[in-house]
Amino acid sequence: MSDAANESPEAAVHAFIARTITEHPVVLFMKGVPDQPRCGFSSLVVQVLDHLGVDFVGVDVLQDEALRQGVKAFSDWPTIPQLYVAGEFIGGSDIVREMFQSGELKPLLVQKGLLAEA
Amino acid sequence: MGDKRETALGQVRDSIVKKLTAAFAPSVLEVVDDSAHHQGHSGSREGGESHFTVTVVAEAFRGLGRVPRQRLVNAALAEELKGPVHALSLRVLAPDEHTGGPAPQ
């Protein structure tokens, strides 16, 4: 995950997360993969994103314990899933659900150019 | 929400109530142990008390966005989240945002 051989594992994870949320406009750190979430909270966010029709990258934190802990530290957020849009931390499943239900999530994605207005 | 009942006061639930009360002096505080709905999942424990749904209404949250609000609550419950609590579903509201009705589903 790193070019620097002497980088600490924490720094390497940090760099991986930073790069991922920079390279991809919508990133969901989740348990399992989008086609097969392994947690109800992750599944809920996948369903919301699918419903809105936005492309996103799912990163399965269960594949790597260092990543699972690292993303919590990176975001200062103790739970998974975690949604990033345009490099910005949006929240976990409660916040995504609230923003979807209140109609705030779609305009945010439209405003960032990630979803066509419809 | 009709199938959710507050279970007998467990230790973890008790601790959540105490800490949130001390931190925010909430006007409304509901702490529901959902663990029974998650039996057999990763993170569920014998004896439950691993999954909670919390509604907390307090002046302290007025004017704050969703992420800072949840961060405040998460910080107050950091010990529980590192230990027994595997999942915490939060509604964090200022007093005039709370209708008193059940959480929208």
How would residue A117 be classed by pLDDT, with cut points 50, 70 and 90? confident
As a whole number, mean pLDDT of residues A72-95 equals 97
User: Residues of chain A whose C-beta is under 8 A from some C-beta in B?
Assistant: 31, 38-41, 76-79, 89-95, 98-99, 101
Interface contact B87-A79, CB threshold 8 A: yes
Of B58, B62, B101, nearest to B76 by C-alpha is B58
Q: Which residue has the tokens 């409304």?
A: B28
pLDDT in the model for residue A77: 96
**Site from B67, B69, B92, B99 to mutate, A interface, most A CB atoms within 10 angstroms:** B67
pLDDT in the model for residue A86: 97
Given a cut of 70, whether residue A87 has pLDDT beyond it is: yes
Of B74, B66, B72, B75, nearest to B93 by C-alpha is B66
**Tens-digit pLDDT string for chain B (105 aa):** 444 444 445 899 999 999 999 999 999 999 999 887 766 665 666 567 889 999 999 999 999 999 999 999 999 999 999 998 988 999 999 999 876 554 443
pLDDT in the model for residue B105: 38
Our measurement of the distance from residue B102's CA atom to the centroid of its chain's CA atoms, rounded to an integer in Å, reads: 14
Q: What is the 8-class DSSP label of residue B6?
A: P
Contacts of A94 in chain B (CB under 8 A): 70, 89-91
pLDDT in the model for residue B2: 41
pLDDT in the model for residue B46: 59
Which chain B residue has its CA at the smallest distance from A82's CA?
Answer: B67
Given a cut of 70, whether residue A108 has pLDDT beyond it is: yes
Name which of B38, B42, B89 is nearest A94 (Cβ-Cβ): B89
pTM value is 0.86
C-alpha count within 13 angstroms, C-beta hemisphere, residue B15: 15
The Cα–Cα gap between B73 and B80 comes to: 11
The Cα–Cα gap between B36 and A110 comes to: 39
In the beta sheet, which residues pair with residue A29? A59, A82
pLDDT in the model for residue B98: 78
Three-state DSSP state, B80: helix
Name which of B70, B78, B81 is nearest A95 (Cβ-Cβ): B70
Interface contact A91-B66, CB threshold 8 A: yes
Given a cut of 60, whether residue A2 has pLDDT beyond it is: no
Please give the ipTM for the structure prediction: 0.87
Interface contact A38-B71, CB threshold 8 A: no
Percent of chain A, pLDDT > 70?
94
pLDDT in the model for residue A4: 52
How would residue A97 be classed by pLDDT, with cut points 50, 70 and 90? very high
Strands of chain B, DSSP E: 28-33, 51-57, 87-93
pLDDT in the model for residue B47: 62
Q: Using a CB cutoff of 8 Å and minimum separation of 24, what contacts does A84-89 make?
A: A84/A21, A84/A26, A84/A27, A84/A28, A84/A29, A85/A25, A85/A26, A85/A109, A85/A112, A85/A114, A86/A25, A86/A112, A86/A114, A87/A21, A87/A22, A89/B67
pLDDT in the model for residue B50: 86
pLDDT in the model for residue B44: 60
SS3 content of chain B, % helix, strand, coil (to 5): 40, 20, 45
Contact B105/A at CB under 8 A: no
pLDDT tens readout for residues A34-73:
999 999 999 999 999 999 999 999 999 999 999 999 999 9
